[in-house]
Amino acid sequence: MTSVKTQQSRNDDGLAAVVPATAPQQLVKRRRKPLTWDKVSFFAVFLGLPLAIYLLFVIWPFLQAFQYSLTDWSGFSPNPNFIGLENYARIFTDDIFMKAMANNILLVIVLPVVTIILSLVLATLVTVGGSSKGQIKGLRNSSFYRVVSFFPYTIPAIAIGIMWGQIYDPSGGLLNGILTGLGFDQFKDFAWLGNKDTAMIATMFVIVWGFVGFYMVLFVAGIKGIPAELFEAARIDGAGRFRTAVSITIPLIRDNIQTAYIYMGILALDAFVYMAALNSGGGPDNSTLVMAQQLFFTAFSKGQFGLASAMGVVLAITTLIFSGLVFLVNRLTGGDKDVSN
């Protein structure tokens, strides 16, 4: 039985090609051996140790968060009162938290789209920007662009935030230096992060800056995985570069795009580090305040742990809804069956 099961799950994982269909079942089959000390100690350590740490430091806190969110716990009283959904009612009538939620939703709408489009364009330029005659090949020196674009991903987010905070500095910053140097004198001493109309856009740009390279590398790898024959066939059929990108490349790396969209969306729903580094107080008129900041403040500055846990639950549910929506939209619009050129 065991062998059949392994075989099936392997096929489920799309590894069918690796496992020869004719592999004799007899060989793979493992006999149920009596439990030896070797086996018992092996399972205890290999499974027990990692699971113990994981359950204690990850799963247990997650579960407790749901429980705390129904209490008025402040961290010190031994017996917090059970107050039902009161914390949630409070959150949804709290204007500041709702503003933070709206900001997160704005981020989750804008960031994945902008980042993915930009990195897709760059990845396409790198991979299929080369000659239209002869072999399908990428642009010359493309590895330079790839390596450089990836730089920001290796930099800690907090360092990115601090660095850009200085770049946006009204008087000594690089951005205003460049703009006034180019003759745009209205930007002299313009506070990008201090103006409620520009703070959010400036912040979004920083996050996009940090991630475009990573997704570009991801998409380049995806595009390189497409067999060259498909591009050649399209070219013979008379498809130009743009047509090839839209009808061949994008449908074929659709799974990568979906993964990127979810990762980027989860990041946008958090965004704590960037916001904390660029505008730790939530920005002018709370224009860059996000739920995570409000949660952190409620928990570790105000000590309202019950309320903060409820905010965490709201954040988690928003994340789950978002991931679900992305899967659903991808499924409804045809998933990966769409390669019909």
Partner 1 sequence: MTTRVETPERKSLHFQPRTPASTPGDKVVGAISHTALTIWSLIVILPLLWTFMSSFKTSSEIFASPFALPSVWRFDNYVKAWTEAGIGSYFLNSVIVVGSALVIVMVLGAMCAYVLARYTFPGSRAIYYLMLAGLTFPIFLAMVPLFFVLKNMGLLNTLPGLILVYVGFALPFTVFFLFSFFKSLPHEITEAAALDGAGEWRTFFQVMLPMAKPGLASVAIFNFLGLWNQFLIPVSINAAGPRVLSQGLAAFAGQMGYAVDFGALFAAVTVTVIPVLIVYVIFQRQLQGSVSQGTSK
Q: Does 83 bind partner 1 (CB under 8 A)?
A: no
Nearest-approach distance from CB 337 to partner 1, in angstroms: 19
Using the contact rule CB under 8 A, the part of the chain among 89-97, 231-239, 297-305, 331-339 near partner 1 is: 297-305
Cα separation of 155 and 211, whole Å? 11
Site for partner 1 in 310-329 (CB under 8 A): 312-313, 315-316, 319-320, 323
Site for partner 1 in 159-218 (CB under 8 A): 159, 162-167, 171-178, 181-182, 201-202, 205, 209, 212-214, 217-218
**Under 8 Å between Cβ of 69 and 310:** yes
Nearest-approach distance from CB 309 to partner 1, in angstroms: 5
Which of these, 326, 276, 271, lies nearest to 113 by C-alpha position?
326
Site for partner 1 in 120-159 (CB under 8 A): 121-122, 125-126, 129-134, 139-140, 142, 144-159
Site for partner 1 in 52-81 (CB under 8 A): 53-54, 56-62, 64-65, 68, 75
Sign of CA dihedral 200, 297, 58, 86: negative
Where does 47-123 show beta strands of DSSP type E?
none
Cα separation of 300 and 308, whole Å? 9
Nearest-approach distance from CB 89 to partner 1, in angstroms: 19
Nearest-approach distance from CB 125 to partner 1, in angstroms: 4
Q: Does 38 bind partner 1 (CB under 8 A)?
A: yes
Which CB, 5 or 337, lies closer to partner 1?
A: 5
Residue type, 249: T
Q: Does 100 bind partner 1 (CB under 8 A)?
A: no
Cα separation of 288 and 207, whole Å? 13
Q: For partner 1, what does the binding mask look like between residues 219 and 248, x meaning CB under 8 A?
A: -xxx-xx---------------x-------
Take residue 90 and report the two structure tokens written for it: 């409070």
Which CB, 172 or 227, lies closer to partner 1?
A: 172
Task: Supply the angle between the helices 199-224 and 142-150 in degrees, to the nearest 10.
Answer: 140
Task: Supply the angle between the helices 305-332 and 95-128 in degrees, to the nearest 10.
Answer: 40
- The residues, ordered by sequence, that sit 6+ positions from 84 with a Cβ below 8 Å of its Cβ are 70
Q: Does 28 bind partner 1 (CB under 8 A)?
A: yes
Nearest-approach distance from CB 181 to partner 1, in angstroms: 7
Q: Does 16 bind partner 1 (CB under 8 A)?
A: no
Residue type, 202: A
* Member of 266, 284, 327, 330 binding partner 1 (CB under 8 A): 266
**Under 8 Å between Cβ of 111 and 268:** yes
Phi/psi at 82 (5° precision)? -80, 120
Q: Does 43 bind partner 1 (CB under 8 A)?
A: yes
Which CB, 112 or 222, lies closer to partner 1?
A: 222
Q: Does 27 bind partner 1 (CB under 8 A)?
A: yes
Nearest-approach distance from CB 88 to partner 1, in angstroms: 14
The three-point CA angle 138-140-141 to 5° equals 115
Take residue 292 and report the two structure tokens written for it: 């995570």
